[in-house]
Amino acid sequence: MGIQMKIKLFITILFFPLVAYSTDIESLKVPDGFNINIFADNVDKPRQMAEGKNGYVFVGSSSGKVYAIKDHDRNGEIDDIEIIADDFSDSSGVAYFEGSLYIADINKIWRIDRIEEKLESFDKNSLDKVLVTDDLPSETWHGRKWIIVDEDGSILVNVGAPCNVCLKEDDRFATILRYKEEKWTIEARGVRNSIGFDIHPENKKLYFTDNGRDWMGDNMPSCELNVLEESGDFFGFPYQHAKNVVDPKFGNHDHGYEIRKPIYNLGAHVAPTGMEFYSGDQFPTEYFNNAFIALHGSWNSSNKVGYKVIRVTLNESGEFVAAHDFLTGFLDGQKVLGRPAVPFMLSDGSLLVSDDHSNLIYKISSET
């Protein structure tokens, strides 16, 4: 599609390190051998991130804004932050591929070509966006998007179920879709609400999280970590949840699917919201091919759960081995200090984590 629109452009916001934040950085804990600091502040509800080739980090947000963050001299300190667009309903999903920035709204996907070249040229009025597709469902319940671009240029994006638990005639709901050559195919079915997935660096399989349904108590059903073995695999929703929890309303329906079960139960109500495989060389070697998963945190359980970033290790066959806490300290008892949203690996091997409660982005680096 060739529809183009001009993006509103806003004044550059100079970044100055601050000393006081709504989240006390001293409360955050990482394993021995790592340090954490604030990478960027005053980013309105930051979510998914992407890195360009010329030092830009692009940040999507649930506030409808898209940010470009630049470290001009690549010294690890931010020189400026720009809001390059603010006219989306929800611009949480962003991806960078071959010079273009992809932005996923509720029912549309946009692309800005030669994004860094245009930013560097100071001809910022040329930041036009091209409509890739506008035929995604417009429902906002579980409408927030996560987007990645595969090696062949095809786009993977989620479409959540527009409900707590339901059956819809539109088979695009409760899926992960692939968009290629202006055609949609269903990669994964029976996925309630996945807003975090990534392709394994070696086996090239799609791993994804899924948010479990609500109102079955504090301890069930669990949120999930899944792996797609074959395109079109079915993962249970709304008939079955986690590994063996039968839905009280839909569990007796004859659906005819073979249900592929999760490889790991993340825990009930922890709300996984971002996922990234580590393929850098800054962290110790045992971190290679580990999956970092942000657990955004519960909203309706008696005691708050989640509110941390975990590290999941897999064996050489890509099977689950263990899960470890990696970034904690977002809770003080039952008081919420922050909510980790998305982990993202930079090209230097450090790890960014967005926090859409405190409007911060943290940077975690290895001390060695």
Which CATH number is 89's domain given?
2.120.10.30
Is residue 122 domain-resident?
yes
Q: How many domains does the chain have?
A: 1
pTM for the whole thing?
0.93
Six token digits for residue 281: 């060389």
Is residue 148 domain-resident?
yes
Is residue 140 domain-resident?
yes
Ordered strands of the 80-85 beta sheet: 13-14, 80-85, 66-70, 56-61, 46-51
How high is the pLDDT of residue 77? 75
Is residue 24 domain-resident?
no
How high is the pLDDT of residue 193? 98
CA separation for the pair 79, 345 (Å, rounded): 20
Q: Which domain holds residue 67?
A: 4-16+32-366
CA separation for the pair 354, 191 (Å, rounded): 24
CA separation for the pair 318, 226 (Å, rounded): 11
3-class state of residue 121 by DSSP: helix
- What stretches in the chain show pLDDT beneath 70? 1-24, 74, 76, 122-126
How high is the pLDDT of residue 368? 75
Is residue 260 domain-resident?
yes
| Residue 125 DSSP code | G
Burial 74-107 (b: 16+ CB within 10 A, else e): eeeebeebbbbbbebebbbbbbbeeebbbbbbbb
Is residue 26 domain-resident?
no
| Residue 118 DSSP code | H
How high is the pLDDT of residue 71? 80
N- to C-terminal Cα separation, the chain: 48
**196: phi then psi, degrees, rounded to nearest 5:** -175, 115
